[in-house]
């Protein structure tokens, strides 16, 4: 019996397929393509093509696979394969699993991208050997994956772990709140994700904010990102300091609450904002230490994601 499995990591900008050795987690072959057209039908075509290319490179017949796993950057309704909400793809209530199965001819298992990343880390990465682990990624979006009692925890309807959509601002008339890509107000992601940090800083710069961030990007607002803010913070910029202190309080407190509720043995951190902004990360750690329940943090370890960008595609393959 073949030990090879196929997984897909479907983000908002690219689709990547890989052939994985289920015993070792090794990537035997992979192929990635950009998503120029994000309509569900066109994405199915791209996913089918990257799967065909990856399988061909590994000399694996697509029809010989028992199933294919797909991690999607969005909310997935349990085992139905329906993507309820994928802001970066612009999808609402898309039966993606059924669409892909119809073209592929084998069963397709669709799950949230961070859920499958957590499972990849459980099988072959920083969560291996541990039964209770929380994975938190802050990159273009914000999310988490939960391993509880040694199993991937997806909740009653598959949407457990939507960490980026916990609410962090009161909805009062006198309080300005930001709208998230999911359509709701006051989500953690609306304030702290890389995409939303960049959008907010651009808005402030256009409104005349005085900050070194403008110098860091050479006056080109399209180049504004979280790294530029972190650099400005290091230079003592008052705007960047205020923004990072605000975001650190939101993220540090939210991660502390997650640990307080779930009492994991380990927190695994990933994503370009968490790992690429060391000054922000230090502030988040301080806020976490202040707000976490001491008993829940007893014996807790914190690790970077070992599998990096491969966690999703590996997890999708072995989960599928």
Task: Please choose, from the candidates 80, 82, 99, 100, the residue with its C-alpha nearest in 3D space to the C-alpha of residue 91.
Answer: 82
Q: Are 118 and 143 within one domain?
A: no
CA distances from 149 to 122, 258, 306 (A): 12, 16, 21
Host domain of residue 82 = 4-122+309-319
Q: Are 299 and 190 within one domain?
A: yes
299 alpha-carbon distance from chain centroid: 26
Give the model's confidence band at 63: pLDDT under 50 very low, under 70 low, under 90 confident, else very high. Answer: confident
Q: Are 77 and 40 within one domain?
A: yes
The first and second tokens of residue 287, run together, are: 């806020």
Q: How many residues does the chain have?
A: 320
Percent of the chain with pLDDT over 70: 98
Q: Are 52 and 89 within one domain?
A: yes
The first and second tokens of residue 228, run together, are: 């530029």
The first and second tokens of residue 255, run together, are: 């991660």
Q: Which one is predicted more confidently, 262 or 140? A: 262
Q: Please, where are the H alpha helices in 226-271?
A: 226-234, 238-262
The first and second tokens of residue 296, run together, are: 């829940």
The first and second tokens of residue 200, run together, are: 């907010």
In angstroms, the CA 195 to CA 198 distance is 5
Task: Please choose, from the candidates 152, 202, 139, 187, the residue with its C-alpha nearest in 3D space to the C-alpha of residue 11.
Answer: 139
Residue 111 and residue 158 in contact, taking contact as beta carbons nearer than 8 Å: yes
In angstroms, the CA 214 to CA 237 distance is 11
CA-CA-CA-CA torsion sign (275, 147, 312, 154): negative
Q: Are 67 and 193 within one domain?
A: no
Number of compact structural domains in the chain: 2
Is pTM beyond 0.85? Reply is yes
Averaged pLDDT of the chain: 95
Q: Are 180 and 197 within one domain?
A: yes
Q: What CATH number corresponds to the domain at position 164? A: 3.30.420.40
The first and second tokens of residue 43, run together, are: 């994405």
Q: Are 83 and 158 within one domain?
A: no
Q: Are 88 and 143 within one domain?
A: no
Element (H, E) at 316: helix 311-319
Q: Are 168 and 107 within one domain?
A: no
In angstroms, the CA 132 to CA 150 distance is 6
Residue 284 and residue 234 in contact, taking contact as beta carbons nearer than 8 Å: no
Q: Are 158 and 281 within one domain?
A: yes
In angstroms, the CA 302 to CA 112 distance is 23
Cα of first residue to Cα of last residue in the chain, in angstroms, is: 16
Segment 23-49 shows an average pLDDT of 96
pLDDT of residue 254: 98
pLDDT in tens, 120-152: 999 999 999 999 999 999 998 999 999 999 999
């Amino acid at each position: 019996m073949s030990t090879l499995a196929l997984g897909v990591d479907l983000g908002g900008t690219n689709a990547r397929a890989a052939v994985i050795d289920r015993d070792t987690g090794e990537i035997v072959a992979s192929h990635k393509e950009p998503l120029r057209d994000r309509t569900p039908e066109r994405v199915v075509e791209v996913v089918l093509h990257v799967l065909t290319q990856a399988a061909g490179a590994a000399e694996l017949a697509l029809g010989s696979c028992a199933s294919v796993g797909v991690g999607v950057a969005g909310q997935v309704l349990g085992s139905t394969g329906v993507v309820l909400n994928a802001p970066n793809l612009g999808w609402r209530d898309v039966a993606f699993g059924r669409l892909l199965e119809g073209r592929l001819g084998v069963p397709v298992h669709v799950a949230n991208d961070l859920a499958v990343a957590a499972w990849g880390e459980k099988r072959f990465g920083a969560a291996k050997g541990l039964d209770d682990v929380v994975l938190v990624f802050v990159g273009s979006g914000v999310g988490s994956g939960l391993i509880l009692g040694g199993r991937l925890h997806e909740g009653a309807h598959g949407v457990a772990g939507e960490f980026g959509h916990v609410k962090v601002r009161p909805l009062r008339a006198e309080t300005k709140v930001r709208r998230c890509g999911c359509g709701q107000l006051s989500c953690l992601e609306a304030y702290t994700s890389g995409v939303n940090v960049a959008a907010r800083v651009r808005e402030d710069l256009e409104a005349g904010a005085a900050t070194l961030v403008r110098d860091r990007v050479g006056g080109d607002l399209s180049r504004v990102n979280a790294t530029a803010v972190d650099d400005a913070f290091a230079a003592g910029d008052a705007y960047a300091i205020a923004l990072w202190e605000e975001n650190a309080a939101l993220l540090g407190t939210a991660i502390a609450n997650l640990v307080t509720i779930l009492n994991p043995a380990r927190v695994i951190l990933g994503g370009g904002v968490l790992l690429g902004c060391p000054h922000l990360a230090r502030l988040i750690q301080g806020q976490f230490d202040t707000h976490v329940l001491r008993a829940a943090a007893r014996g807790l370890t914190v690790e970077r994601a070992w599998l990096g960008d491969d966690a999703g595609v590996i997890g999708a393959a072995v989960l599928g």
